[in-house]
Amino acid sequence: MALDIQDKFAIEELLRRACYNADYNPPESMRAIYTPDAVFEVPAMDISCRGIDNIIAFFTQSRAGFSSARHVINNVVVEGDGDTAKSSAYLQVLRTDEGSVGIVSVGRYLDILERSAGGWRIAHRSVAIG
């Protein structure tokens, strides 16, 4: 059965929450975004994290050197049925320090999502830069 509007909204909200958590919330908050065995990868930067603890460690380390990031997504497309879905979203990462705003990178989030007892979660995220 195709995803209904509530599923699509819940997935889009999860994607927005992932951006917000990356920018503002403690890295531990990613437990509410990713499955326990999730994969997060940025092939262009040779980054591959497997499992939620490694994903949290990545966000902890990356935020330490880049505290003023703002992750912005748009043009979100969600498709799927049952308890699995795929999404694609354009990504812009902005840096907002020293009174100015600059684009750090652009790309796409390519996600595979799973429905769990706690709602939708990202099982695999690939970040395509460029």
Instruction: Give the mean model confidence (pLDDT) for residues 2-14.
Output: 96
In terms of residues, how long is the chain?
130
pTM of the model: 0.94
Q: Does the pLDDT at position 28 exceed 80?
A: yes
Q: Tens digits of per-residue pLDDT, 69-122? A: 899 999 999 999 999 999 999 999 998 877 788 899 999 999 999 999 999 999
Q: Residue 25 is part of which domain span?
A: 5-129
CATH (domain of 36): 3.10.450.50
127-130 long-range contacts (CB < 8 A, ≥24 apart) are: 127/40, 127/41, 127/42, 127/91, 128/43, 128/44, 129/42, 129/44, 129/45, 129/105, 130/44, 130/106
Total number of domains in the chain: 1
